[in-house]
Amino acid sequence: MSRTHKVAVIVGSLRKDSHTRKLAKALIAEAPENLEASIVEIGDLPLYNEDLETDTPPAAWTRMREELGAADALLFVTPEYNRSVPGALKNAIDVCSRPWGQAVFNGKPAAIVAASPGAVGAFGANHHLRQSLVFFDMPVMGQPEAYIGNLYGLFDETGAVASEDTRAFLHAIMEAFTKWIERTALPASEG
């Protein structure tokens, strides 16, 4: 078996019991043994303001930068707000892209799973997020595309994935992501 890959999972929704967070946890549960995936919280990040970028930036910024810096890859699980990504997710990207030239996720493999209660499956959020990640030269997995619609119907009353077909799809995403990481990750000496 290949080496273990540490994956930072960033959830675009801040609500503790959000369906997007449930989806992220379901994806983590379907990760192969060689993916060590965990959610990195973004809700405590102060809005990015360059005036705060001093020798002692906000502790939450430092925590986030260190957690993402230690990751081999990133998995973004996001809802769509107004045909784009939630503001908190954009702020997390801005925080981790600074100081200028020191983005902690440059070149790291990524995958995006976008979800919405509607039928379109957060297509706009997925593609807006891809635009930001291209700037950081992050190879973003293209297949399988993960636009998950009808999000509120995916989980039963206990929060578990309600359908075996859905569980199998989530498993396929995580298997493909593992292969993507292995193909595209920078060697440790370059990361």
pLDDT tens-digit series, residues 79-98? 988 888 999 999 999 999 99
Report helix, strand or coil for 106: coil
Tell me whether residue 189 is in a domain.
no
User: How high is the pLDDT of residue 188?
Assistant: 53
Tell me whether residue 62 is in a domain.
yes
Tell me whether residue 191 is in a domain.
no
Q: In what order do the strands lie in the sheet with 5-11?
A: 35-39, 5-11, 73-79, 110-115, 147-148
* Amino acid at position 3, single letter: R
Tell me whether residue 129 is in a domain.
yes
Give 11's pLDDT tier (boundaries 50, 70, 90): very high
User: How high is the pLDDT of residue 83?
Assistant: 87
Write down the mean pLDDT value for the chain.
Answer: 92
The CATH number of residue 89's host domain is 3.40.50.360
pLDDT tens digit string along 132-172? 999 899 999 999 989 998 888 899 988 889 999 999 999 99
- Close Cβ partners of 154 (under 8 Å, ≥ 6 residues apart): 19, 22, 23, 26, 148, 161, 162, 163, 166
Tell me whether residue 190 is in a domain.
no
Q: Which domain holds residue 35?
A: 5-184
> If you count them, how many residues does the chain have?
191
Q: What is the mean pLDDT of residues 76-80?
A: 94
User: How high is the pLDDT of residue 94?
Assistant: 95
Count helices and strands (H / E) in the chain.
5, 5
Number of independent structural domains in the chain: 1
Q: What is the Cα–Cα distance from 132 to 27, expressed in whole angstroms?
A: 23
